[in-house]
Structure 1
């Protein structure tokens, strides 16, 4: 399969890379996402690009390293993007030094396979009343990721420093995943790191009216009931929203949106 393509992009990770929040039933698993959008631009500029996306929502770092790295190497990638560790940071306890040492070994394997590798820092959740409590962990994670990038001559998408994403207009109603607008902006950011031309237009966000304290409290209570509660419940039961899902693009191909755009 890989011999069909001169350039081979393989995306690894969890819900961030799978595309959760960028909902579209025309795409596998019902999501599009920034990685698909990056691949679409690469393919439109040069059809010799092939694309695979092995990311599955809910995956923790050791799952990503154990399930996705070997599968990626089998596709002989020339480009890999990987973001792993966000779901680990949200756990009650974590040994970041041990975990990032394993991440380092995984990145070393990808680089040894000949791929250019792009990593991400974690998002600064300073404005989140719930996830802001993990901000310190994320800052430590980011410094260790920067060391990995330097050690292996990888590329970095510095999510932490992208202050645009502090605007809630870029986020889905679950407040955990980027919306279509956020995934679109992230695709642009990744393409800029790759120094790749693109034709993506980032949508302008609509101004959001200020809410009264009572209205905001009601919205927060609804969010906690519909999204936070189920999310906590799954973790207490050892379950993941991605347990029964297949991989979006297990083999190299052109993403569905590109096929639709170029079909007669």
Structure 2
């Protein structure tokens, strides 16, 4: 793929929106904003739009973001969808991959270069999700196959040990921290072969975290259940989504420096 693009459009959910990297008062940054900055070093005139909205399932991303993305005529796009589906008990792999592949197909058919990523084993970050680790592995394999069929580039984020480092995750463990978003942007830049990129994003953080011991780990789990899992579960039971009544933060292509300043 070329390393010089004129217009980049990001499609996705909360990770692509940038949740965990900034806040709604100061503004969200996130890996897609950071990747746009990488791309702008190769082409300072790059225009960037971000259509992602937190909480969206793959079918909603396809229904609400694909047509606007196509209308913007990007020459580069990222499509990251499916994690919200994977975390639900009603997960249907066939349905989700159909929506993801449809987005790959529509964008590449228009001549857009597309990139995506593989998901990490969330059980390494959230131990109680061990029952779904098999579906994540299988889903990643199907994303790879769909990407190969459509010439979509993949940033292989999922299998590197560093992704389990708590410092790459926000306190809710569902969203990346600023450092985690930075690593994802670097992973995309490396996959794209952008000038100055390399594989240092795969390396462990230094210094290593001290061993918290069994008691420390148990207390951390109890705190996480109370402050993150229970509120998340209550929203699901009430049929609410964090993306309700939200709109994309950057629906129109603008020069990167016009909005991203953090």
| TM-score normalised by L of structure 2 | 0.88
Q: 1:108 aligns with which of 105, 110, 124?
A: 105
Once the 2 structures are TM-superposed, how far is the Cα of residue 177 of structure 1 from its aligned partner?
1.2
| TM-aligned CA distance change 1:179 to 1:229, over 3 Å | same
Map residues 31-50 of structure 1 onto 2, 5 A cutoff: 31-50=28-47
1:223 aligns with 2:189: no
- Please tell me whether the aligned partners of residues 116 and 155 of structure 2 are also in contact (alpha carbons under 8 angstroms): yes
SS at 1:70 equivalent? helix
1:243 aligned residue: 244
Task: Tell me how far 1:254 sits from its aligned partner.
Answer: 2.7
Contact 1:11–1:55 (Cα < 8 Å) also in 2? yes
What's the counterpart of residue 215 of structure 2?
214
Residues 99-157 of structure 1, C-alpha deviation per residue, up to 9 Å, x if partnerless? 21232222111111110011222212242312232111111111111111111111011
Q: Which residue of 1 aligns with 2:234?
A: 233
**Residue 16 of structure 1, CA deviation:** 1.3
Aligned length: 254
| Residue in 1 that maps onto 2:8 | 9
CA distance in 1, matches of 2:180, 2:119: 15
Q: Aligned partners of 1:78, 1:168: CA distance in 2, in Å? A: 35
Separation of aligned partners in 2, 1:51 and 1:96? 31
TM-aligned CA distance change 1:67 to 1:259, over 3 Å: closer
2:85·2:96 contact (CA, 8 Å) conserved in 1?
no
Deviations 1:66-86 (A, max 9, x none): 000001011101001011111
Moved more, 12-21 or 216-225: 216-225
Residue-by-residue CA offset, 1:45-89 (whole Å, 9 max, x unaligned): 312210001111110000000000001011101001011111011
* Residue matched to 2:114: 117
In 2, Cα distance between the equivalents of 1:129 and 1:147?
A: 28
Shift of 1:171: 1.1
The CA RMSD measured in Å over matched residues stands at 2.3
- Partners in 2 of 1:158 and 1:130 — Cα distance? 24
- Corresponding residue of 1:3: none
Secondary structure at the aligned position of 1:159 is classed as coil
* Long gaps (5+) in structure 2: none
Structure 1 residue ranges without an equivalent (≥5): 1-5
What does residue 136 of structure 2 align with?
138
Give the SS at the match of 2:122: coil
TM-score, with length taken from structure 1:
0.88
Which residue of 2 is the match for residue 182 of structure 1?
A: 180
Q: Which residues of 2 match residues 64-75 of structure 1 at below 5 A?
A: 64-75=61-72
Cα distance between partner residues in 2 of 1:259 and 1:172: 21
Q: Could you tell me how far apart the structure 2 residues matched to 1:195 and 1:173 are? A: 32
1: CA distance, partners of 2:141 / 2:14: 22
Change (3 A) 1:258 1:237: closer
Deviations 1:142-175 (A, max 9, x none): 1111111111111011122222212222111111
